[in-house]
Amino acid sequence: QKEVEQNSGPLSVPEGAIASLNCTYSDRGSQSFFWYRQYSGKSPELIMFIYSNGDKEDGRFTAQLNKASQYVSLLIRDSQPSDSATYLCAVRRGYQKVTFGTGTKLQVIP
C-alpha cells in the first residue's frame, strides 16, 4: 500500500465548475496535510495546508480533512483554465519527512 495515494487523472472539468481532488494516506499518525500545485516543468507551489479535521477555506480553494477515514481533499471552485496543473497531496507526521503522492492532473476545459 502506498503511503499517499491519489488518482493520477486526468480529471477534466469545464471552466466555472468545481474540481474535487482526493487523497488517502496510510499513516494514522500523520498530523499535517498539504496541497501543492505543480505546473509542467516547474516546482511545487503550496496551495493549502490543514492540520485539524474539518474544512479550511482560502479564496477559491477548500481543503477538507477526515483523519478517521484517512482522507484529505481539495475543492477548487469556479475552476479556471489557469488551474490546469498537477496537484500533489503531501502528509507529515510531527516534524518528520514530508511524503508526497504521485499527483492528480487537472484539466480545466474552456
Contact set with another protein (CB under 8 A): 4, 31-32, 34, 36, 42-46, 49, 51, 88, 90, 94-103
* In contact, 45 and 36? CB cutoff 8 Å: yes
Name the residue nearer to another protein (CB basis): 46 or 109: 46
- Measured from the CB of residue 66, what is the shortest distance to another protein in angstroms? 20
- Measured from the CB of residue 110, what is the shortest distance to another protein in angstroms? 25
- Measured from the CB of residue 36, what is the shortest distance to another protein in angstroms? 8
70-92 as b/e, with b when 16 or more CB fall inside 10 Å? bebbbbbeebeeebbbbbbbbbb
Name the residue nearer to another protein (CB basis): 74 or 110: 74
Name the residue nearer to another protein (CB basis): 13 or 47: 47
* Three cell numbers written together for 32: 499535517
Q: How far is residue 79's CA from residue 7's CA, in Å, rounded to a whole number?
A: 19
- Measured from the CB of residue 28, what is the shortest distance to another protein in angstroms? 18
Which residues is 105 bridged to in the sheet? 86
Q: How far is residue 31's CA from residue 53's CA, in Å, rounded to a whole number?
A: 10
Name the residue nearer to another protein (CB basis): 47 or 108: 47
